[in-house]
Every structure is written in structure tokens, then in C-alpha cells.
Structure 1
Amino acid sequence: MPETKDKKKDKDIEIPAELQEFIEAGVHFGHKKSVVHPGMFPYIFGVRNNIHIIDVEHTQKQLVKVVEFVQGIVQEGKVVLFVGTKVPMRRLVKALAEATEMPYVINRWFGGTITNWETISERIQYLKDLREKTKSEEWKKYTKHERLKMKRELEKLEVNLGGIENMKKLPNVIFVADAKENALAVKEANAKGIPVIGIIDTNVNPKNITYPIPANDDSITSVELILSKVKDAMLKNVKHEVKPEKQLNEIKKTSKDNKAVGKKKGGLLPKLKVSLRRPELKSRES
């Protein structure tokens, strides 16, 4: 299996200021070398301390594509289903979905949500009917035990299906905050030909993701940064501060010519020291 080479060794990695936010958010931290997926090598900068380092320039370029794509989705009035079942990321995904008025799944992904939509739709309708029943006169006819049982069932349904209860049909796009964690959602979307936008870490196969965003998917700050750019693009319907590829090339050239310390309005382009130690290393085995 081919291995990525360290492009810089025993030296500070010089990063253009425009990419500094990705470094500060920990977007560049990948997984241990032992669990890398070969398909991720094009997105990897190198190896440090036995950890793959994601090339944030690729992260930036992929975000350009995602931003342009979701803007088109919003303009056409189409639906994006946001999926993020990893516990630390649930609130971020829910907040993004609610802000953009899109459906979401943050607890359990029900098998068949995409591939067996008719059955899921029936469960959603049952959820709505049960909720109405608790507010009707009919509710008084049930015993205390029966009401308690139905309330518990309602609560469970709301937790698992509440985020998609207003989704009338299959979504036009699926966004997964963790492509590996939500592999079943990705598989179902692929089966139905639905485009998938996904945050992919170095242990993920990118070929199943239509619009991959290489980034650390275990860091809250990393995922939050990515989601914030998607949210801004959808809400403002204008390009976020993600530079087009031609501007990125200019940045790269300027950085190379001036060794990342070039003149800039109001001061100098700083030389940034990149942290190469990932906080979650002890818990990252996969």
C-alpha cells in the first residue's frame, strides 16, 4: 500500500493566514496511520507523530464546491436532510437544520428511512395521530396505564422521527456530519441516487460521498466550523468566506514566493506554527 510522505520534517509548517481558521479548529488532525483508507491519500498532507495530517487546502477547495452546491439547492427550494448521530455533534447538526428549516436525524438512523420511505411515512403519520389523540376528548377514555404507555411511545417516536416529521418526500440531498458513523444513511442515499455531502476523516472511503469535505470529524470545533460555513451559505445565499480555487492558487503562489511572510495591508502575513498533537489521540483507535 502506498504511503504519504512527510512534506516537511522537523520544521514548522507554514500556512497562509487564509487557512489559519482550519488549523485553529483542529480540522487538520486525521487518524492513526494504521486505520487510514487508501482513498484518502489525495487529501493527506503527511504524517506527524504517527497521525495523518489532512491537507486543509483540500478542505478549503471542497468547501468551495459544497457552498456553491447548497446555494443552488436553496435557490431551487429543494430539501437537504442533515444527519449527525454522534452524541457530541447532535446539538450542532440540530441547530444547523433548525436555522435553515431543514429536516434532520440526530439520534438513531432507522434502516429504510430512504430505501423504504413509504413505511417510514406511515410511522410519521402514526406519530402525528398519536400526538393529536393526547389532545383530544378521546384521551380521557383511556385508563391511566394506557395513557402512560401511549405517552412513552409518543416520546420515543418524537425522539427518533421528530426531526423528519415535516419531510413530505425523499430529500434531494443528504448531509452527513460523520460519514463513517452514518454509513447506513450514505448507503441508502447511494442506492436511491441521492447526492451526499459528507465530512470525511482519514479512515473513510470517499468514493461513496458525492461532495466530500476532508476534516477531523471527532472535534467539535472542526465540525462546528464546517457546519457554520454551510449554514451561512444557505441562509445568506451568497458565497461565504471560502475562496474560489483561482484565489487559492494565488494564495499558494504568494505564500511560496514570500515564504508565508509576505506584505499585507496593515501588516505582515504571519508564519503560523501548526499544532501536531491531537487532543483525542488516546481515544482514537479507529
Structure 2
Amino acid sequence: MALPDFTMRQLLEAGVHFGHQAHRWNPKMAPFIFGTRNNIHIVDLAQTVPMLHQALQAVSDTVAKGGRILFVGTKRQAQDGVADAAKRCAQYFVNSRWLGGTLTNWKTISASIKRLRHLDDVLSSGEANSYTKKERLTLQRERDKLDRSLGGIKDMGGLPDLIFVIDTNKEDIAIQEAQRLNIPVAAIVDTNSDPKGITYVVPGNDDAGRAISLYCDLVARAAIDGISRAQGDSGIDVGASAEPVAEELPAPSSSGFQGLAGPRGTADDLKKLPGVSGAIEKKFNDLGIFHYWQLAELDHDTALTIGEEVGLPSRADAWVAKAKALTAEAE
């Protein structure tokens, strides 16, 4: 793969060039303003194109080195686009209210994530039946509240290596925290915003739905390009070899579990299981797990062994319970 291609025409059609009313401008954005039309500032796309390309290159390079990208967009029109883009490229996102200290107080945030995982386990297992209806409702509400704020970062496992921000005015706390921790920031900066402190400034409209969708799509594709480069750098091109490469087969699993060489028909969406992200789903696939019924048949010890191999042993029993439920629904 290569960095995603885009043209100035695409930016024009998405409305990237429309700024805010002239009286609402931030003078620090003057170098990026082409002119004024009907009292609306017009962004200079001749500068936006190379600066957006530079930001996409930074995203791709960060992911290629094994880094994490955090998408931040809490305004209404950005919420769905940010979440979809982050999930598509196996990265992380915050699309509800930014909790103060999400980066600078990661220890406390980690405790909240641990609580969210515990609630997921309780509510998805038979343990929930030991609670009264009112208690279950209270736990579900607490779980939903935590999931809105932390659901997109619960599998991040640490601080991000770069954050991508849609609206620098609305996400000013996130940007300040990133600056304090020296985390690079790539951001869409409108004519009413301050570009100071932004590592990769991308001048453009941060309100139009089509523009936001375009930004998110390009950044997601840049991250996927980084993943592709990382995989390519980790080995040789087997397809170009004149002689077949001797491949060392993995030793049989001590648990007795035998995975499949590939999915039987259409693979199931394993991301429906509690706590399973795109990255965890790939680890399942590497172990030969593609279907709910494979997990539904596991005993406790085998499930725990597989959980340890993918890095989430505490979720093993919850996966089995959820897989059984999903298998029953399919039947």
C-alpha cells in the first residue's frame, strides 16, 4: 500500500476551504487564509494539500513503528466518523466528553478502565443473575456511562504516540495534555482557531460533515498503510522467492485446542465479544479461531490458555458465555 491519494478538487467538494465569518477569525491563522468571500474567510488549499499530506505521513510512520494513534472528536458531527475510522484501522478514539486527565492522569483512567472491564465480565456472565433487577440496572447504567467515555481507549494499554484532533477549540484540554507530555498532535485548524502548539497543522473546515468524513477516511487509510509497512518490514517477500521457504510449524498447543486453517464460509465478527478489538480479533485468527462455535466449545482451562495467548485472560470465560449466546441466536 501507499499513502492515500487525494486532490484539491476533493477538498473543494467537501467544503474544506470554507472558514468562519471574518469577524470570528483568529489573527494567527492569517498566513493560511486565501481571502474573503461574502464575509466568509476562504482557506488557502494550496497550503492545506501539502500540510495534510505531511500529517498523513506522520500517522503512517507512527503506526509503522508500532505506535498508537488516538482520534479525538467529541462534537456531534464528528462522533460517528471518528469512531468508525478508528475501528477500521485498529486504533483508538474518544468521541464523547474528554475526561480531564485522560493523558496526564493515566493511572486513574486505567483504574476506571479496569472497572469497565469488570462490569463487562459481570453483565455478560451468569454472575449477573445473582443480583436483583434494580442492582443489574444500576450496574448497566454505570457500565454504559464508562463505555461512552472510555470504550474507545480501553484496549489502548498506555499513552498514544500521536493524537489526531478535529476541532482544536473544543478539544483544547486534550491538546494541552498532549503538549505537556510531548505527544505530537495532528489537527484540523479552522480560521477561528489557534495553530500554536500543533505539531502538524492542517488548515481547513472543522464543522462540515463531509469534510470531517474525508479527514477521518484519509487518516484511517494512512494508519492502515502504516500497518502494511510494519508487516512488510518484519519479513521477506515470500512470493518473490525462487525456492519455497521452509516454515517452522508451531508446536501443538498444550491445551489440546486445534485451530482452523481458515474460516469455514464467512468468518464471524469476533469484535462482538466483550473487549475484543480489531487487533485482538487478528490474534484470534492467527490462532485459527474464526467462529463463535469454536469458542463456545472451550472448557475453562483451554479458554484461559487462549486468553493468555491473546493478552486478555480475564475475558476468557466471558468470551465463552457470549459465544454460546451468539451461536444459539444463529441457530
- Displacement after TM superposition at 1:202 (Å): 0.3
Structure 2 residue 186 is matched with structure 1 residue 213: no
- Displacement after TM superposition at 1:191 (Å): 1.2
Cα pair 2:89 2:221 within 8 Å, conserved:
no
- Describe the superposition over 1:61-81 as per-residue Cα deviations: whole angstroms up to 9, x where unpaired: 101211221111121010010
Q: Which runs of 5+ in 2 are unaligned?
A: 1-5, 230-331
TM-score by length of 1: 0.75
What residue in structure 1 maps to residue 172 of structure 2? 183
What residue in structure 2 maps to residue 132 of structure 1? 121
What residue in structure 2 maps to residue 32 of structure 1? 21
What residue in structure 2 maps to residue 192 of structure 1? 181
SS across alignment from 2:196: helix
Partner amino acid for 2:163?
I
Structure 2 residue 75 is matched with structure 1 residue 75: no
- Displacement after TM superposition at 1:18 (Å): 4.6
CA RMSD in angstroms, aligned pairs only: 1.7
Partner amino acid for 1:184?
I
Structure 1 residues 136, 24: CA separation in 2 closer, same or farther (over 3 Å shift)?
A: closer
CA distance in 2, matches of 1:84, 1:68: 20
- Describe the superposition over 1:202-228 as per-residue Cα deviations: whole angstroms up to 9, x where unpaired: 011001211011010111111222222
- Displacement after TM superposition at 1:177 (Å): 1.3
SS across alignment from 2:70: strand
1:200-239 to structure 2, matched below 5 A, reads 200-237=189-226
Structure 1 residues 111, 18: CA separation in 2 closer, same or farther (over 3 Å shift)?
A: closer
CA distance in 1, matches of 2:125, 2:12: 55
CA distance in 2, matches of 1:114, 1:124: 13
Partner amino acid for 1:146?
E
- Displacement after TM superposition at 1:233 (Å): 2.0
What residue in structure 2 maps to residue 53 of structure 1? 42
Bigger relative contact order, structure 1 or 2 (CA pairs below 8 A, ≥6 apart) = 1
- Displacement after TM superposition at 1:140 (Å): 2.5
SS across alignment from 2:151: helix
Structure 2 residue 77 is matched with structure 1 residue 113: no
Between stretches 228-237 and 86-95, larger displacement belongs to: 228-237
- Displacement after TM superposition at 1:22 (Å): 1.4
Q: Which runs of 5+ in 1 are unaligned?
A: 1-16, 240-286
Between stretches 135-144 and 54-63, larger displacement belongs to: 135-144
1:163-174 to structure 2, matched below 5 A, reads 163-174=152-163
Q: How many residues align?
A: 223
Partner amino acid for 1:138?
E
- Displacement after TM superposition at 1:49 (Å): 1.1
- Displacement after TM superposition at 1:138 (Å): 3.4
Partner amino acid for 1:160?
S
Partner amino acid for 1:80?
I
- Percent identical among aligned pairs is 42
CA distance in 2, matches of 1:230, 1:81: 11
- Displacement after TM superposition at 1:34 (Å): 1.1
CA distance in 2, matches of 1:137, 1:231: 38
CA distance in 2, matches of 1:23, 1:150: 47
Partner amino acid for 1:90?
Q
CA distance in 2, matches of 1:142, 1:25: 51
